[in-house]
Amino acid sequence: MEIPLLITAFCALLQVIPYYLNIPVIDAASGTMREWMLLVVNMAVFVGVISLGQVHGKRIQRKGENWPFSVVLIAFMVFMAIVGFPLENIGLGFKNNQYLFMFNNILNPLGGTMYSILAFFITSAAYRAFRARNWEAAFVLISGTIVVMSNAPLFTSSMPFLITWKNWIFDVPNTATGRGVMIGAALGAIALAVRTLMGIERGYLRGGGEE
Amino acid sequence: MAILQSGRLFGLACLLLIMAAVAYYIRAAKGGKVPKVRRVAGIDAIDEAIGRAVEMGKVIFCSHGIANLRGATSGPQTLAGLSVLSYVSKKAIASNARVIVPVRQPEVWPIAADIVETEYKLAGRADEFDQDDIRFLSNNQFGFSSNYMGLMMREKPGANIMIGAYWAESLQLAETGNRVGAFQIAGTAQTSQIPFFLVTSDYCLIGEEIYSAGAYLTQDAPLMASLAGQDVGRIIAVVLGGLGTLAYTVGIETLLDLFGM
């Protein structure tokens, strides 16, 4: 068996065994490995920064398409990295005023904006999807209409039974289907884990299945 | 001190049973008995998506989700997405198509880059690999999403393959892909996002289908056989679910105590 596969199997077993068996030595080793993993993951943040620097740096250098936006990105990235650096004794870090200003007044509102445009995407997707072309589509249309109407006081004030219908839709068919998908997905994940442990699933290592 | 963790014996027994079934079928497959696997239209369509992009002279976007490899439920989805990336990049390289891989998690970036680079090396075209095509966009969910959407609007991909763990940005990405006319194949095990992918993509892989994609695409006999072992687990779940429901209905709690062992 190849070394990367042996490492994968060893690390996987080291995490799975403590969940079922109470063996102090393995518990301790598993905890240490989780700490190592956190260190590796946190260092991987620099990989992202380097990748961004490479892509946008090249674009700025060659004055490629939309290069001014790359300047803005790099500038903000450097600025946030500096003011957010954990040196509280010289006024930098998460409590730095400039850092908080950028975070509260730029990053958070931008994220909120992106989240809220989902409303428009849902509307356009629903317009395309809610067509009664066949029985299944008709069921989707009817149940979707009931759920949307039951969330609007305009309708529920005069038709309170909509809330009962909505609750039934959520509690019975929706929950049942969701649980079925979840069970299937969990079993699929177990099978994937077993294949990975046995060294048969190699898609994450290199060319799928090839020696 | 007891060796077995309290309340986990039954779970361990079920897990070992499923692992034994998977191992049995893999062993049988190596002896020539490969089980038949039903067609999954979404996975079959991956070749069609790549072919379409090649004919149109456009790039292929292949995303493995926005999760890392550490999550209990999202990690396997990312792994499944990386398996699909392996296949897509192999086919794209053979067809001289360019694959762009948007990445959200910096810890997954080296893995995705290595997968694509290795495919180039295996094809004997290592010098054609461009690391900038494996793009770390942002660690922030909507920073990633807005960047991915902008990338699609500018590059206008011929195919957009999204298999992995997605959350609220799933609809944004799939709708944008729809608007630029990309052939979309999407799949996730996040139950709340499956409906969005169903209505916006051309083909959708639901739940466990994404985990079988890697096995299905390679047509490797042991991998295909492991899917049969997975079905044994499903049978166990259905039988136990039925028995548990009946037992609870008539007031027999012995079975429930067994599940809680």
Q: Kindly provide the ipTM of the predicted complex, given to two decimals.
A: 0.86
Q: Confirm whether B226 is domain-assigned.
A: no
| Number of structural domains found in chain B | 2
Give pLDDT tens digits for B23-37.
888 888 888 888 888
Q: Confirm whether A8 is domain-assigned.
A: yes
Do residues B240 and B170 share a domain?
no
> By the CB < 8 Å criterion, does A127 face chain B?
no
Q: Do B146 and A114 touch (CB under 8 A)?
A: yes
Do residues B25 and B143 share a domain?
no
What is the pLDDT at residue B130?
Answer: 93
Give pLDDT tens digits for B77-109.
999 999 999 999 999 999 999 999 999 999 999
pLDDT band, very low/low/confident/very high, at A210 (cuts 50, 70, 90): very low
C-alpha dihedral, B30 to B34 to B35 to B40, nearest 10°: 110
Residue B245 sits in which domain range?
Answer: 9-33+231-259
Give pLDDT tens digits for B144-166.
999 999 999 999 999 999 999 99
Q: Confirm whether B117 is domain-assigned.
A: yes
pLDDT band, very low/low/confident/very high, at B241 (cuts 50, 70, 90): confident
Do residues B118 and B242 share a domain?
no
The closest CB to that of A125, out of B107, B154, B196, belongs to: B196
Q: Do B212 and A188 touch (CB under 8 A)?
A: yes
Do residues B187 and B255 share a domain?
no
Whether B180 and B157 have beta carbons less than 8 Å apart is answered as yes
d(CA B59, CA B187): 20
> By the CB < 8 Å criterion, does A192 face chain B?
yes
Residues whose CB falls within 8 Å of the CB of residue B180, separated by 6 or more in sequence, listed in order: B152, B153, B156, B157
Do residues B13 and B104 share a domain?
no
Residue A27 sits in which domain range?
Answer: 3-43
Q: Do A194 and B19 touch (CB under 8 A)?
A: yes
Q: Confirm whether B225 is domain-assigned.
A: no
Could you give the strand order of the β-sheet that contains B203-206, starting from the edge strand earlier in sequence? B134-136, B99-103, B60-65, B159-165, B183-188, B203-206
- List CB contacts (< 8 A) between A129 and chain B: 198-199
Q: Confirm whether B135 is domain-assigned.
A: yes
The closest CB to that of B118, out of A22, A47, A206, belongs to: A206
| Number of structural domains found in chain A | 2
> By the CB < 8 Å criterion, does A154 face chain B?
no
Count CB atoms within 10 A of the CB of residue B106.
23
Q: Confirm whether B1 is domain-assigned.
A: no
Q: Confirm whether B236 is domain-assigned.
A: yes
Do residues B45 and B24 share a domain?
no
Query: Looking at residues A116-136, what average pLDDT do you find?
Result: 85
Q: Select the residue from A187, A197, A211 to test the B interface by mutation, using most B Cβ atoms within 10 A.
A: A187
Chain B residue with minimum CA distance to A201: B223
Q: Confirm whether A144 is domain-assigned.
A: yes
* pTM of the predicted protein model: 0.89
Q: Confirm whether A203 is domain-assigned.
A: no
Do residues B186 and B249 share a domain?
no
